[in-house]
């Protein structure tokens, strides 16, 4: 599929229906990346730019782990690649390092942290939980999925999280219900106290987690990687309102204070961005703030 052997696939696993894990040989990325950051992958000379959050990395082996769901044409193309084949480009690390990784050790040690992972969002949660354990910090984790077959990385998560709780919408595995039901069970029923919740998953999941945690008075961090398209601030797709400020998920994030994110605006905007007419309307409406500051590009 490509003659570039620098970004060779060294491992491929099908985690669930249409969900794949791959290890990519990318020594320069592996040497510098941290939890919270992402890469941009281009499969071949005709491929689109695909931003994917880093799931894991091995600095000694020089590999970076990605997890993706084959939904659109570009990700379905990725799923066709096999071990030994290579991608044209694999750029990173991009984005800001996780807030927890940057937090002073003594401050983090005094916090009780709960990670809430929804669906494929389990992948970007995993490196943060792993980093916490490897650096002497403890954390609990909730993994939420539609049903048992869509629960991913559970065993890997159990190696590093103090406690792992699984919830499925249909009750086919773990607790029946969504991640908010599990949060309420732990905090209200079990009287667990958490200082920080990190929620990563579908936009609608993160929105309702933030509504709940705001009521509970718990600081909540979310990752806005689901709305990234270009990954560099050039396309304007991931423009966000955070409190009273305009931010871009790919450059300023992807992590933000979940209680300040205008989720309704972000979801409506992303829907508009999928059409040519919507892109044009957004560009006209937002003017100079449509792209990240300093970007001179324009969609055709």
Domain 100-223 = CATH 3.40.50.80: yes
Q: Would you tell me how many other CB atoms lie within 10 Å of the CB of residue 24?
A: 26
Is the per-residue pLDDT at 42 higher than 50?
yes
Is the per-residue pLDDT at 19 higher than 60?
yes
Q: Which long-range contacts (CB under 8 A, 24 or more apart) does 13-19 make?
A: 15/67, 15/152, 15/153, 16/149, 16/150, 16/151, 16/152, 17/149, 17/150, 18/69, 18/70, 18/71, 18/79, 19/67, 19/68, 19/69, 19/70, 19/120, 19/150, 19/152
Comparing CA positions, the residue from 42, 55, 96 lying closest to residue 248 is 96
In CATH, which superfamily holds the domain spanning 9-94?
Translation factors (2.40.30.10)
Domain ranges of the chain: 9-94, 100-223, 227-252+260-294
Place of tokens 């949660």: 125
Two tokens, residue 283: 């560009």
pTM, two decimal places = 0.88
Domain 9-94 matches domain 100-223 at the CATH topology level: no
- DSSP characters for 99-130? HHHHS-HHHHHT--EEEEEEGGGHHHHHHHHH
Cβ neighbors of 258 (< 8 A, separation 6 or more) are 199, 206, 209, 210, 213, 220, 221, 222
Residues pairing with 64 in the sheet: 24, 57
Is the per-residue pLDDT at 197 higher than 90?
yes
Distance separating alpha carbons of residues 109 and 138, to the nearest angstrom: 8
What average pLDDT does the segment 18-42 reach? 96
Task: Tell me the pLDDT tens digit for each residue of 208-218.
Answer: 999 999 999 99
């Amino acid at each position: 599929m490509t003659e570039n052997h620098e970004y060779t696939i060294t491992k491929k696993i099908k985690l669930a229906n249409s969900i794949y894990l791959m290890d990519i040989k990318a020594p320069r990325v592996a040497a510098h990346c941290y939890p919270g950051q992402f890469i941009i992958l281009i499969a071949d000379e005709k491929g689109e730019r695909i931003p994917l959050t880093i799931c894991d990395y091995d600095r000694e082996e020089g590999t970076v782990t990605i997890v993706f769901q084959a939904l659109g044409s570009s990700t379905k193309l990725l799923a066709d690649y096999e071990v030994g084949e290579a991608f044209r480009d694999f750029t990173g690390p991009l984005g800001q390092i996780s807030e927890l990784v940057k937090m002073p050790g003594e401050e983090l040690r005094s916090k009780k942290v709960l990670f809430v992972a929804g669906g494929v969002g389990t992948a970007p949660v995993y490196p943060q939980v792993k980093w916490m354990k490897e650096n002497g910090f403890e954390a609990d984790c909730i993994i939420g999925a539609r049903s048992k077959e869509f629960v991913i990385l559970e065993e890997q998560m159990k190696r590093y999280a103090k406690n792992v709780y699984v919830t499925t919408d249909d009750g086919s595995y773990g607790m029946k219900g969504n991640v908010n039901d599990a949060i309420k069970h732990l905090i209200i029923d079990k009287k667990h106290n958490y200082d920080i919740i990190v929620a990563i998953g579908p936009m609608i999941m993160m929105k309702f987690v933030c509504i709940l945690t705001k009521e509970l008075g718990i600081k909540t961090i979310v990752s806005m990687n689901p709305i990234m398209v270009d990954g560099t601030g050039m396309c304007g797709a991931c423009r966000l309102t955070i409190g009273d400020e305009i931010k871009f998920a790919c450059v300023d994030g992807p992590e933000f204070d979940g209680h300040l994110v205008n989720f309704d605006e972000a979801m409506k905007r992303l829907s508009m961005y999928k059409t040519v007419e919507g892109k044009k309307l957004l560009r006209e409406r937002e003017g100079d703030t449509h792209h990240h500051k300093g970007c001179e590009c324009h969609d055709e």
